[in-house]
Structure 1
Amino acid sequence: MTTAPETAAARTLATGTARYLEIDGRVAYVETYGSGTPVLCVHSAGQSGVQWRDTVGGLAERGWQAVVVDLPGHGRSELPAAGPVTDLGVYARWCVDVVHALELRRPRVVGCSIGGKIALDVAARLGAEASGLVAMAADARNRGQNERALRRSLADAVSPSRSDRTYLGTIAACGSAVPMARRRLIAEMHRREDPQVSLSDLIGWARHDLRDRLSAITCPARLVIGADDFWLADSTAEATAAAIPDCALTVLEGIGHYPMEEIPGFAAVLDAWLRAQNT
């Protein structure tokens, strides 16, 4: 059997390895790309590792091993037996289990939105096992979400539909520097979310308070916020960065809540942040 040559219409963007693990009796899905220092990549609420599709190839080319997870109940990972998760600590413990199951040596941890907060939590749990941290669109205590309102949104009697709200809200959450065609593509990907899982994630985001644990993050860290990100208050991000022993704060002009999806060539940007943490 012969294989047709690649054309402009069909080309390989990244080649990796898929794994199914068993964690807490449930199936967990992980992909790895490249070799070198592992970089654990954690996605945002309701999403999956697909958010890193434009980044993993570039990381691998630059000498990193991108380790991309689907959190429990997202993508190809099974829901926990208890159902959708409203405690981000559950995800953080699960990520630490992935690190240990794959025997990742001194990983870097990168995440966005709830993934950014999970990355903060994971770095605190790993302590000296972690060699670096990039937390995007994250702070230690989010004041912009109301748990009671989020729980009411779990009801189906909401107009417009939850799918449309996700689509339109994602477009609005992107930065002013992002072309509208790119915003629509990001929003189309986000509209695939399971609303029960997404809203449970956001409840966890509203609840999770890491302020008393930031001093346990001993690796070099970078907190990244988009100047156009209405989900996050500058003051809480600044306070979070100040409470981490070795932390830089980066503000991205014209970028909103999803830097790895909004910024063209994001792998080069992330690579520079990670290399700045080499010790």
Structure 2
Amino acid sequence: MNAGALLVQPFVEYGFMRRALVATLALGLGSAPIGTLLVLRRMSLVGDAMGHALLPGAALGFLFAGFSLSAMSAGGFFAALAVALAAGFVTRVTSQREDASFAAFYLIALALGVLLVSTHGSSVDLMHMLFGTILAVDDAALLLMAGVASLTLVALAVIYRPLLVECLDPGFLRNVGGPGSLVHGVFLVLTVANLVAGFQALGTLMAVGLMMLPATAARFWAAEVWSLALVAAGMAVLSGFAGLLLSFHAQWPSGPAIVLVAGAAYLLSLVFGPHGGLLARLLRSRSHRNA
């Protein structure tokens, strides 16, 4: 079998592979730009915290309605948003840093979610919650992912300028009377929505990987915000494609395979990226010494 057949055949022969590919395309296009902005705001770990924080809400939706897309999505959305608001409130009324508040609340939420699923479900249910089942996405899940991705891209285009200023200098935006709080709230909702969409396919532990790994890798290849988002989205889509092929041919779980491919792309970017990569820094230091 030639290389072309190996790359194309799984998606030609199997409908579930085509659906999974469409799901990764939607997730990559929507979540990677969000991840890029989280990196710019130095909120990478906050994204990870919110990704795990949706578990108790999704678990409650599962307890009341089983594997109902609407119930689990709504529960996960409100749980992650509640954790974000609680962490922000603690940061405003105490001297604790925002990342520490997020860490505390997300650990509580994660433990509560695992407890709920473990005591009222099976080990299979828990694995489904944690790692997802991208090879079993249905029409409703695909529509949710496509809808969230479309909404994200449109909303980011509308609030791009104030959001960029709010990321880089929120104090300036407040001083000139800009809609800083509104823009921050919209961005927070978009982040949670993309994590909920990713949860349907990759689970709570893997969804944040497709959001943050391409975004952190893009920093080594691009310098402007729009190009960072473009490179991150491209890496996310390619990671989904390559991860699905790897899971098909090597018989690996699909979610971890996709995130591992994204992790490999990050490590390669770390070494070979022209913007701050290890090799570029080494060559630059040698040229300075020779000069």
TM-score class, shorter:
under 0.3
TM-score normalised by structure 1 residue count: 0.28
Greater length-normalized contact order (CA 8 Å, ≥ 6 residues apart): 2
TM-score normalised by structure 2 residue count: 0.27
Instruction: Specify which structure has the higher proportion of strand.
Output: 1
Which structure would you say has the larger Rg? 2
